[in-house]
Amino acid sequence: MKRDTSQFQNIPYDVLVIGGGINGAAVANMAAQNKLRVALLDKGDFAGGTSSKSTKLIHGGLRYLENLEFGLVREALHERTAQLRIAPHLVKELGFIIPVYKNDPRPLWMMKLGVTLYDLLSGKHIIHPYKPLSAAEVIHFIPGIKQEDLTGGLIYWDAQMDDARLVLENVQQAELNGAHVANYVEVRTILKENGKAVGVTVKDLISGETFDMRAKHIVCAVGPWTNIFQRKERSESPARVRTTKGVHVIYRGSFCRHAIFVQSHTDGRVFFMIPWYGNTMIGTTDTDYEAHPDEVSVEEEDIRYLCKAAGRLFPDQEFTDDKIVSSFAGLRPLVHKDAASPEKVSRKHVINPSFSGVMYIMGGKYTTYRVIARECLERLGIIKPEEFKGDLQVYGGGEPAFTPEQICEKYGIQEDTALMLRRTYGSRVEDVLRPTVADSSLLERLNPDFPYIKAQLTYGVNVEMAMTSDDIIWRRLPLAYQGLDTPEIRSFIQGQLLPA
Ligand SMILES: Cc1cc2nc3c(=O)[nH]c(=O)nc-3n(C[C@H](O)[C@H](O)[C@H](O)COP(=O)(O)OP(=O)(O)OC[C@H]3O[C@@H](n4cnc5c(N)ncnc54)[C@H](O)[C@@H]3O)c2cc1C
């Protein structure tokens, strides 16, 4: 995937997609698969917005049952099965343990009712039925958990994914099917003829060049930037999305091989402690956010809130700052704005054209991206229903040609590296390793304690359109979650980014 913005000019696209988060990437992927001429642009990196800042769950959302959103939960649970099939290397099943204490906001009977309903809504898409756990079993699964007042618990099943790579693989697949894609291209204005949108003016933020592009249909999937973008079209547009901030903390070490469902005692909210690349991802918060989406950041109070609630469950652990490996903040672009508290707002998406015909995608969950892409293209009405291919493939989702053992033998790599490469690139592992035949220095590890090799950094730059070291450290590879955001690694990447 080569970044070449000169290809964008003078092509009459069928669909131009603004925003390379999961929704834009999936629309581009599905449109390209249906043989349309597609362009996809993002003003930052692919998945640089909300789509790399999620809790990384492909799930129905157990807690949405409290808001009586049965349809939304059922749809997402069905999509979970599709995602496990489409991207088996990036989406994996995961158990969730709910420990319940005497004074928890939701007692054990309520939790059991909730997961029973969740399993029923899953229907034939169930991963494994939930199991009740005694207090002793909870302690067995989660060593170190607070024992006082523990009344028992249960385990239910959902799925976990690598959100940034799943976006990238949708982009790569779109490109494989002929789409023109580029990151760091900002859409500045919508061009109109007779009041109808016919194209855009963009700025290539790498070269500084400004140019026009034309398209029959424009899809705007800019998530938290929706309000700002709509005001480009009409300055007096009312706010269409309510943005709420969600923070996650990556805490050193592991508490449990399953995820833990935590109930906060300060405000009754629910959040998770999830195993993530050997560490634990704690999150998320949910607070209204009104500043510019470009400026969202983690505040001290977000970290204190999460550490305090997690600490209540592990009284012998000190949740101190020196054990925080990294943290990140994202914005939910919520469309149903009326509920008082952010967590009560529906996560259902809305797809609506503006007065000039630009099709806006707003809200939604990552999990249902395929449904959103399909609905968006159906609304555009450019593919005959009988010819419409609504399923999706992602770039590394095919059957790998070699087992990890065969890969070890062929390229002289260790087993942990082969397994990690399979988990990261799926069926495309050999594309990463082939250059190591000519240059064996690319087989060197980035750090002796981790399986990553230099070939992945050069692959990120040469093939995956990484333009900055952050693109690699946070999104092409999960290095930031493992304490591998180091000056040495950044300097190696920088060396690859510089033109020869
Ligand atoms: C904290 C948190 C946790 C979540 N956890 C989950 C979860 O576990 N599971 C789940 O299913 N969902 C989850 N979600 C929801 C999910 O992450 C979002 O619904 C989804 O990522 C939104 O994707 P998007 O493509 O609409 O937006 P984004 O990913 O934000 O993409 C919008 C893109 O538009 C680009 N853009 C903006 N303006 C312009 C412009 N002028 N020109 C070009 N490009 C532009 C931005 O750079 C950005 O990359 C979570 C959300 C949050 C905030």
Nearest atom within ligand 1 for CA of residue 185: 43
For the Cβ of 293 lying below 6 angstroms from any atom of ligand 1, the answer is no
> Residue 170's closest CA among 304, 352, 25?
25
Specify whether 330 is located in the same domain as 251. yes
d(C-alpha 394, C-alpha 273), whole Å = 28
Q: Kindly report, residue by residue over 243-272, the tens digit of the pLDDT.
A: 999 999 999 999 999 999 998 888 888 899
Evaluate if residue 364 carries a pLDDT over 60. Answer: yes
20 touches ligand 1 (CB under 6 Å):
yes
Helix 487-497 crosses helix 454-462 at what angle (to 10 degrees)?
40
Asked whether the beta carbons of 112 and 154 are under 8 A apart, the reply is yes
Q: What is the pLDDT of residue 380?
A: 94
Across the range 381-385, mean pLDDT stands at: 86
The pair of three-digit structure tokens given for residue 332, joined into one six-digit string: 């939910």
For residue 337, the model assigns a pLDDT of 62
Residues 122 and 190 placed together within one structural domain of the fold: no
Same domain, 254 and 333: yes
Pick the range with the lowest mean pLDDT from 289-293, 342-346, 398-402.
342-346
What CATH code is carried by the domain that includes residue 440? Answer: 1.10.8
**Residue 425: which H helix or E strand, with range?**
helix 415-425
Measured between alpha carbons, how far is 351 from 219 in angstroms, rounded to an integer?
Answer: 10
Q: Are residues 141 and 183 in the same domain?
A: no
Q: Are residues 178 and 270 in the same domain?
A: no
pLDDT at 342 over 80: no
Mean pLDDT computed over every residue of the chain? 94
Domain span holding position 301: 93-160+242-339
Single-letter amino acid code for the residue at 453: I
Instruction: Please give the average per-residue pLDDT across 54-63, as a whole number.
Output: 94
Decide: 246 in ligand 1 pocket, CB within 6 A. Answer: yes
> Does residue 341 surpass a pLDDT of 80?
no
Enter the pTM of the model: 0.96
- Residues 87 and 342: their CA atoms lie apart, in Å, by 31
Residue 399 lies in a domain: no
Residues 249 and 332 in one domain: yes
Task: Please state, in angstroms and rounded to a whole number, the distance separating the CA atoms of residues 451 and 454.
Answer: 10
Asked, for residue 115, whether it belongs to a domain, the answer is: yes
Q: What is the pLDDT of residue 235?
A: 83
Distance (angstroms) between ligand 1 centre and the Cα of 221 equals 9
DSSP annotation of 238 reads P
**Ligand 1 pocket check for 53: Cβ under 6 Å:** yes
Do 232 and 305 sit in the same domain of this protein?
Answer: no
d(CA 483, CA 326) in angstroms, rounded, equals 8
Judge if 176 and 304 occupy the same domain. Answer: no
Q: Is the pLDDT of residue 150 over 80?
A: yes
On the 0-12 / 13-18 / 19+ scale of CB atoms within 10 A, 370 is buried
Average pLDDT value for residue range 306-335 = 93
Give the burial string for 262-287 (b: 16+ CB within 10 Å, else e). Answer: bbbeeeebbbbbbbbbebbbbbbbbe
- Residues 233 and 251 placed together within one structural domain of the fold: no
Q: Which one has a higher pLDDT value, 29 or 336?
A: 29
Q: Which helix (H) or strand (E) holds 387?
A: none
Q: Indicate whether residue 263 lines ligand 1 (CB < 6 A).
A: no
Q: Residue 292 pLDDT > 80, yes or no?
A: yes
CATH assignment at residue 98: 3.30.9.10
**Both 378 and 327 in a single domain?**
no
Asked if residue 72 is part of any domain, the answer here is no
Cβ-Cβ contacts under 8 Å for 172 (sequence gap 6 or more): 1, 394, 395, 464
pLDDT tens column, 64-123: 888 888 999 999 999 999 999 999 999 999 999 999 999 898 999 999 999 999 999 999
Q: Is 366 in the pocket of ligand 1 (CB under 6 A)?
A: yes
Residue 284 lies in a domain: yes
- Same domain? For 313 and 453 the reply is no
Cα-based distances in Å from 39 to 4, 25, 141, 199, 440: 12, 10, 48, 11, 37
224 within domain boundaries: yes
**Residue that is last in its domain, among 328, 356, 387:** 387
Amino acid letter, 344 = K
Split at pLDDT 50, 70, 90, the class of 387 is confident
Structure-token pair, residue 274: 């999830």
Other CB atoms within a 10 A radius of the CB of residue 177 amount to 18
Average pLDDT over residues 2-19: 94
- Three-state SS at 220: strand
Task: Establish if 195 belongs to a structural domain.
Answer: yes
Q: How far apart are CA 490 and CA 298, in angstroms?
A: 22
Give the whole-angstrom CA distance, residue 156 versus residue 386. 39
Q: Which one has a higher pLDDT value, 233 or 294?
A: 294
Q: Tokens 């009977």 — which residue?
A: 109
Nearest CA to ligand 1 atom 10: 366
For ligand 1, pick from 53, 365, 470 the residue to mutate: most ligand atoms within 8 Å of CB.
365
Task: Name the domain count of the chain.
Answer: 3
